[in-house]
Amino acid sequence: MISQKMQDALNGQVKAEFYSAYLYLSMASYFESIDLPGAANWMRVQFQEEQAHALKFVDYIIERDGRAVLEAFDNPQSEWDSVLDAFQGAYAHEQKVTALINGLVDMARAESDHAAEIFLQWFVNEQVEEEASVKAIIQQLKMIEGSGNGMFLVDRELTARIFTPPAVAT
């Protein structure tokens, strides 16, 4: 059984993950509005990933005899100054999520909740990948420095990303 403190913290993470999904869908809409279907696709995949992350938390809470509670969140940002600005915002957001996950791991350790700590390790690893993938795009965007041809090629590359649901633990 999960402690009330851990349940509340994990429900807070459910909220954060759904907010992340909403933020990335907002970014996808922004990219569509400026005719960058590849960047929009990349963000839609990110939207799907974040939804899957939220559901992993919901399922874990339920599996531990807790109750998942969905909370409201503020509207996400909907305008950015540039493509680079949007991806830098995504990177900053992923760093914030990493800090939240690390806080949950610290809480699990403090409570000697070994099951929660093991569960959270998947997210620790996932955040390393999340930050690295966004940072790589930022580096590409900085290299092209507003080149239309360069942006065309980066956008084309971003079109190839597909959503792969996370593996279910057996």
CA-based R_g, the chain, Å: 17
Confidence at residue 17, expressed as pLDDT on a 0 to 100 scale = 98
Residue 170: pLDDT band (50, 70, 90) is very low
Which CATH number belongs to the domain containing residue 143 in this structure? Answer: 1.20.1260.10
- From CA 77, how far away is CA 6, in angstroms rounded? 29
- From CA 120, how far away is CA 61, in angstroms rounded? 12
Q: Is 64 a domain residue?
A: yes
Report the domain count for the chain. 1
Q: What is the pTM of this model?
A: 0.94
Per-residue pLDDT, averaged over 151-161, amounts to 93
DSSP code, position 159: T
Residue 145 identity: E
Q: Is 83 a domain residue?
A: yes
Q: Is 164 a domain residue?
A: no
Write out pLDDT tens, residues 82-125. Answer: 999 999 999 999 999 999 999 999 999 999 999 999 999 999 99
Could you give the C-alpha distances from 33 to 15, 21, 147, in angstroms and in order? Answer: 27, 19, 19
Which residue range is the domain that position 38 belongs to? 4-158
